Structure 1
Amino acid sequence: MSPFSTPPVVAIVGAGPAGLFAAEYLSGHGCHVEIFEQMPSVGRKLLMAGRSGLNLTHSEPLDLFITRYGPAQDWLTPAVLNFPPDALRRWAESLGQECFSGSSGRVFPKSMKASPLLRAWLNRLAEQGVQIRTRHRFTGWEASRLTFESPSGPVTFAADATLMATGGASWSRLGSDGRWASLFPAETSPFKPSNCGFMPNWPDDVLQRHDGEVLHSVGLSFQGTETRGDLTITPRGLEGSALYALSASLRDAITSTGTATLSLDLRPPLSEDAILKRLQNQRPRESQSNRLRKALSLDSASREFLRQATPKQATPLQLARAIKALPIVLTGTDTLDRAISTAGGLRQDALDEKFMVKAHPGVFAAGEMLDWEAPTGGYLLQGCFSTGLAAAKGVLGWLESSVSGIR
């Protein structure tokens, strides 16, 4: 039974996963919920993520899962434990989206797409009375009312509580432009790219010449952490999930010292000795390029990178060592707007344990606008859903305390 004689009004700013999930919880617990979204439609970044397969979460053990949030794990652990990966999977299935775990442990809907899930989700929200206003950009407060820019001009809205879920500062064309940070200057850490590409100290013509080529199943290591996956060459540098997993430490090293040296293993399954034997079995008169191609099936990009990193008349041993640990000096990140996600945002010390902004009673925050980061693999969406629910529960508790007079 609802404790409210009249449904309290909750404004949710932002219609991504965190905002929509908070709306579902609050509307299901006696609140009148209105969502304000600055874009013409909702869930745009979610739909973009679904274009390559909607990776909802990950099936690895929860104690390992939590560590993926790095320095923010202590902050996010209560929220993730309260709504863990298994709960997110069951929720998706309650919308008719059966899920499966891939060979890497990543969890996807069987449809692999975001659109069927989003359609079913919006139908549920409509049935619960949630109202969505698109093309409404949040601009702040006027007295106690929220203010927005809309197609019809300035709009104000009175709410009993507000939940902010406006995203980070990457992919601005999808709605995450970070402009909200100007409203919380004392509470916000500067944005930084996360899960981003990096620029090596190679001549521009090398990148242009190999644009679009992929180094398949290579190994990467930095500061004792090793990853494996595909590395894509673009005119801006290097991209790929294996690189994204190292992005936080690489970015921070570049910020601190100006460069970061990444170690690239071009043939992870083979030992240095095995590579050396294959090279020694080639005819001495063969060119270095032909020996690398015939002995190890190295593509043209890998062969060029080895030429740059080894002496002109490199010995088989020098080549073998370079193939297993090719140094790549990185000098910068790709642009903030092109990053898959961002670090920075509302700091932990600016919020209470219920995700309320201390300087703004009745204003709560969730999702990527909070100062945390995680690698790709389902951790980003899980963090948005878990903090969305945690902030929604904070809102409900705050509203109930006002009814009982104990706030």
Structure 2
Amino acid sequence: MDQSATAITLTNARMIVPGGVCEGWLRADRGRIVSLDAGEAPPHGGGEVVNARGRWVVPGAVDMHIHGGAGAAFTDADPERAMRIVEFNRARGVTTLLGGLVTATPSDTLKQVAALTELCDAGELAGIYLEGPYIAKSKCGAHDPALLREPDPAEFDRILKAGRGHVRMVTVAPELPGALELIRLAVDSGVVAAIGHTEADYDQARAAFDAGATVATHLYNQMRPLHHRDPGPIAAALNDERVTVELINDGVHVHPGAAALVFASAGSDRVALITDAMSATGLEDGEYTLGKLRVVVEGGRAVVAETGTIASSTIVLPDAVRRTVHDLPGVGIEAAVHSAAATPARALGLDSAGLDAGVGSLKVGNRADLALLGRDLAVEAVLHNGAWVHRS
């Protein structure tokens, strides 16, 4: 087969690239971005040529915190069901994601990690994310409080071994006994440590960041609130240049005014838009499960049936990008796209270093993951690993 048949050239594109906007062309070949420049496209070098007609061309989104979609959950411990989530998101412009797990029994967690490891080995998932079990009962949210436990290095080591190097991030409440030691163990093992679901005060959060934690899990939600005499983990995260702050901008979890404050304080280089999405994403309202808990979805808003606590979201990441551009004063498309792609990719170490090809930005050498946006920033086409996975 002629290798040029794998090549795709986009012309007349408005591309969001590192440092700004480039109006011109991009060429992908054998799964990689091989050239990108302003102006008219170079002489035709074979393969497919697509006229972007001045549409936005943006890097594929990177969702570092997601639990499910299309009726499936990563906690199902079923690679086929997990692939349903991957394919559902991929067709909507989310070309990189972690398999997010919630608090479960030790044995169930090991089964779930083992199942997701298969997809990590195959390159379908970028890693595994553990939200719990080492979080505060008073801030458990949609986690089963009966299954929460104190940080346990021996258990964590068993999880790491089951993950065969694919556990990429873990959330810990830093005020728990042994939390700082577990954060150090995670970092030493190549795992990104995050703080969240926490009652930590300002100094305890700072201690966690000094121990190596570099992410704040869904800022504002399920953590000690910001107060001018008790600033807590929110101020500690926003004040620390080492920390990436996750933000669920779905119109439910965080008020637009509070979300805009995060961007104004930390900037798009440190704000990672996430979904925290559950299995109901893409489906009608009704009753679902998150882990072992019953969740009711009405009008797209998901809450735990027994407590009324907000339980995950039902959006895909490009929805958060559109909402950010439309609803947050002073945050334009470049910043929103950066927070949905480059920032989470960097926070997870997926941007380039040590990889076959980086993700999260349109630059030569990176994986050819991108989306074409149409009216109202709707995703019209998606390229993943140099091949079309969606074209409207």
The answer to whether the superposition gives a TM-score over 0.5 is no
Bigger proportion of residues as helix: 1
Alignment TM-score, normalising by the size of structure 2? 0.25
Highest RCO, 1 vs 2 (Cα 8 Å, sep ≥ 6): 1
Alignment TM-score, normalising by the size of structure 1? 0.25
The higher radius of gyration belongs to 1
